[in-house]
């Protein structure tokens, strides 16, 4: 009887310890938000005159490539044509791989459009012409 009582007390003690420690262990341990980046006027000018146009052009070039015809290497149409060709030749593994690449490429069009929107909003907010 004494042993049973000791085991019951030990079990209650362990359960109480777990109930106390669980909220502490599961506390929100997210990393703090990064500090905002501050730019000097010269750096901001460089971003506005060099990087924003360069990134816009790159996003447009990638979009044009993805939307290109079957003769454009890396385009969505090219990947689908290659997948169909591989499937007709019995190379199903290659056809599946090319189809997965085409599906991923299709989703990248939306990402590029989102990036272009972000560039435009950044430029309108931070790249205004200096008053003369």
Band (pLDDT 50/70/90 cuts) for residue 35 is: confident
Average pLDDT estimate for 66-76? 92
Q: How many Cβ atoms are within 10 Å of 44's Cβ, its own excluded? A: 13
pLDDT reported for residue 74: 87
Write out the two tokens for 18.
């777990």
The length of the chain, given as a count of residues? 132
pLDDT score recorded for residue 5: 54
Q: Give mean pLDDT, residues 23-34.
A: 60
- 39-50 residue pLDDT tens: 788 888 888 899
Residue 95 in contact with residue 87, Cβ under 8 Å? yes
- Other beta carbons within 10 Å of 14: 10
Q: End-to-end alpha-carbon separation of the chain, Å?
A: 94
Q: How far is CA 122 from the centre of its chain?
A: 19
- Residue 61 has which token pair? 């070039």
Rg of the chain over CA atoms, in angstroms?
29
| Cα distances (Å, whole numbers) of residue 8 to 2, 13, 14, 21 | 10, 9, 10, 20
- The span from the CA of 51 to the CA of 123, in Å, is 10
- What's the chain's average pLDDT? 80
């Amino acid at each position: 009887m004494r042993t049973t009582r000791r085991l019951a007390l030990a079990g209650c003690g362990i359960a109480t310890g777990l109930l106390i420690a669980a909220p502490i262990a599961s506390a929100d341990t997210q990393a703090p938000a990064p500090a905002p980046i501050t730019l000097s006027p010269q750096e901001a000018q460089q971003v506005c005159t060099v990087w924003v146009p360069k990134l816009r052009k790159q996003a447009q070039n990638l979009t044009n490539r993805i939307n290109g015809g079957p003769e454009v290497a890396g385009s969505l149409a090219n990947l689908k044509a290659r997948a169909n060709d591989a499937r007709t030749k019995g190379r199903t593994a290659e056809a599946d791989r090319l189809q997965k690449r085409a599906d991923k490429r299709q989703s990248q069009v939306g990402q590029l459009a989102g990036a272009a929107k972000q560039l435009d909003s950044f430029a309108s907010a931070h790249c205004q012409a200096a008053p003369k």
